[in-house]
Amino acid sequence: MILVSHIDKDQLVHLLKRFGLETQWIDDLDDIPGSFWGDPEAGLIGNRLYLRSDTPLQSALHEASHYICMDNTRRAKLHTNSGGDYDEENAVCYLQILLSEKLDQFSKGQMMQDMDEWGYSFRLGSAEKWFTEDAADAKQWLIDNQLINEKEHICWNIRH
């Protein structure tokens, strides 16, 4: 599993800042504020994403994708639990896979492998099979909300 400490932190910070997310680095022995799953998973409070060096990169991009995919009403009250429905959760998973390609030391393949290792469960048995064979609805949700285009290019917007 790739951790945030395994990649260029400045590149991650720059990527997330494009969506209005601020990255807050937590000391390794401190609890991560806003972590729904508990340490070492990423935490999310308002527009701040909390990370430690042992935070899995997939967790950081998953929580960032929640921030990007939620509407302004939920974003205004965001603290720990991102909420959202089934369709939005699928869109979050799809978007985190696309975002992985924006980091030099990561890839879609590694993201999907890390998602499987973490314990994501997909009907077809793996993140890769889901992404390539069963995620058309998630892709369409992202297109409908102007977060990606038809060619899967990220639009650098957040949902309103």
Q: In what side-by-side order are the strands of the sheet with 43-45? A: 22-25, 48-51, 43-45
- Least Cα distance to 92 among 43, 155, 135 occurs for 135
Please identify which residue in the block is written with the tokens 């508990």: 38
The predicted-structure confidence for 6-55, as pLDDT tens digits, reads as follows 999 999 999 999 999 999 999 999 999 999 999 999 999 999 999 999 99
C-alpha 44: how far from chain center:
11
Position 124 pLDDT exceeds 90: no
Q: How confident is the model at residue 59 (pLDDT cuts 50, 70, 90)?
A: very high
> Which residues, 6 or more positions from 135, have their beta carbon under 8 angstroms from its beta carbon?
90, 93, 94
The predicted-structure confidence for 63-120, as pLDDT tens digits, reads as follows 999 999 999 999 999 999 999 999 999 999 999 999 999 999 999 999 999 999 998 8
Mean pLDDT, residues 116-143 taken together: 94
82, 114 in Cβ contact below 8 A? Answer: no
Give pTM, 2 decimals. 0.96
Position 122 pLDDT exceeds 90: no
Q: Taking the CB of residue 85, how many other CB atoms lie within 10 A of it?
A: 8
